[in-house]
Amino acid sequence: MSHAATRSNLSDRTASAGQIALGGGRRGLRGLLPFIGPAVVASIAYMDPGNFATNIQAGARHGYMLLWVVLLANVIAMLFQALSARLGIVSGHSLAALCRIHFPRPLVIAMWLASEVAAMATDLAESIGAAIGISVLFHLPLLVGLLITFAITWALLSFQNRGFRPIELIIAGFVGVISLAYLVELFIAPPQWGQFFYHSVVPQLAGPDSVTLAVGIVGATVMPHAIYLHSAMVTGRVSPRSDSERRRLIRYSNAEVLLALTLAGLVNMAMVAMAATMFHNGHADVGEIEAAYHTLLPLMGVVAAGAFMTSLLASGLSSSVVGTMAGQVIMQDFVAVRIPIWLRRAVTMVPAVIVVAIGVNATDALVISQVVLSLVLPVPMIALLVLIRRPQVMAGFVISRGMQVVAAAATTLVLLLNGILLLQSLPN
């Protein structure tokens, strides 16, 4: 059997198994397995280096108190990823493509430009996060770590040529590494479980700093590129042949979103718990990723510190891959322009190289990138809400009035919190 045939078979077999499942030939977990992939890839956006920085600060400064914010942010993320997938499944088009089809051309161009800025800001945060991991683990200059990050990311992106399944499995592997690393952290330094569960469900704030961090957690959780990418990924896998198969596919998609983002939420809560356990009493001033590593090393030893930095490296590399994939979708679906993957990667790496080369603090760069993302976030969120309500787009799959109200309320909440985050980021 040729290598090319082997490459195509993995995705072909998955698509074939999906068709059988949609026809009712596979049920339960066996039926769900062919559809696991898009939400797992999107979930990386909720475990990226920006989350590391915010969660470490939240746990170090306020202990377990802000766990409820992490839980709330994750529930909102689940809603929007599920809606994005539903839009792609029903319409057969990505969110960006539907914007091009249904919105005026000048508005589409403006949305595309804003989304390109978001893609670059996303890549900035994710590439720098991976570069920090390489730099600290292997004692290399940050710029060298950044260039290594770009080389590894480009190599991983080449697996896109082998169909949708290989890249999904690679990202799933990174998710597994991150999850295992935090399982190790919780085993080495178990949290106070009573406090953990209490603060996960009881809302509480204590002063302006906790408000700022709460806003940052929620405001930076729903990522523009994850919304665009999820709707695109579900369109190229398995095509439903009837409305009944389409409904079954939506149920499988919702189940995958629930599983993938529950895992992402647990990882984020574990980040906060680790920081609360290790830093809150005695090291509450830990606010940077490098400082967290160097503080963990003498406190808990090389295993705990190594697990932390390995998870950051896995997060940065995988989220860089996902960010570049989203950038491809944004360009080719908004303006119907395709460019080689190496050129796309080169364009998005320029801001990160400039930031590192001129000596900007890495954690500060992460924060700035989150502010840029906050500015752009309304674009996909509002577009999604507009399109998901249109009968000409959704046919008989328009979401219920109750769900529309919930989605609108969640959008309003996130946008208000992002507005507060932006105001707090302005110089006094």
Q: pLDDT tens digits, residue range 216-272?
A: 777 667 778 889 999 999 987 888 888 999 999 999 999 999 999 999 999 999 989
The larger pLDDT score, comparing residue 299 to residue 25, is at 25
E strand or H helix that includes residue 223: none
3-state DSSP assignment of residue 163: coil
**pLDDT band of 1, cuts 50, 70, 90:** very low
pLDDT surpasses 80 at 209: no
Helices 302-334/49-62 angle, 10° precision: 130
**Burial class of residue 23, CB neighbours in 10 A (0-12, 13-18, 19+):** middle
Using alpha carbons, select from 121, 60, 61 the residue that is nearest to residue 295. Answer: 60
Rg of the chain's alpha carbons, rounded to an integer? 21
Distance CA 416, CA 211 (A): 13
Asked whether 219 and 58 are in contact (CB, 8 A), the reply is no
Asked whether 26 and 20 are in contact (CB, 8 A), the reply is yes
pLDDT digits (tens, 9 = 90+) for 401-426: 999 999 999 888 888 877 776 676 66
Size of the chain, expressed as the number of residues it contains: 428
pLDDT surpasses 80 at 154: yes
pLDDT surpasses 50 at 327: yes
Asked whether 84 and 95 are in contact (CB, 8 A), the reply is yes
pLDDT at 52: 79
pLDDT digits (tens, 9 = 90+) for 332-383: 899 887 777 777 777 777 777 887 778 777 666 766 676 677 677 788 889 9
Asked whether 168 and 35 are in contact (CB, 8 A), the reply is no
Q: Tokens for 322, please give them.
A: 């996902």
Indicate the range of 17-21, 112-116, 135-139, 211-215 predicted with least confidence. Answer: 211-215
pLDDT surpasses 50 at 7: no
Distance CA 17, CA 20 (A): 5
Segment 182-202 mean pLDDT = 90
Using alpha carbons, select from 74, 69, 57, 54 the residue that is nearest to residue 203. Answer: 69
CA distances from 412 to 25, 66, 378, 403 (A): 42, 21, 10, 14
pLDDT digits (tens, 9 = 90+) for 98-142: 999 999 999 999 999 888 887 777 777 788 888 888 888 888 888
**Burial class of residue 312, CB neighbours in 10 A (0-12, 13-18, 19+):** buried
Most confident range, picked from 4-8, 24-28, 358-362: 24-28
pLDDT at 8: 47
pLDDT at 48: 82
pLDDT at 220: 63
Report the mean per-residue pLDDT for the chain. Answer: 84
Using alpha carbons, select from 83, 72, 74 the residue that is nearest to residue 45. Answer: 74
Q: What angle do CA 406, 408, 412 make, to 5 degrees?
A: 115
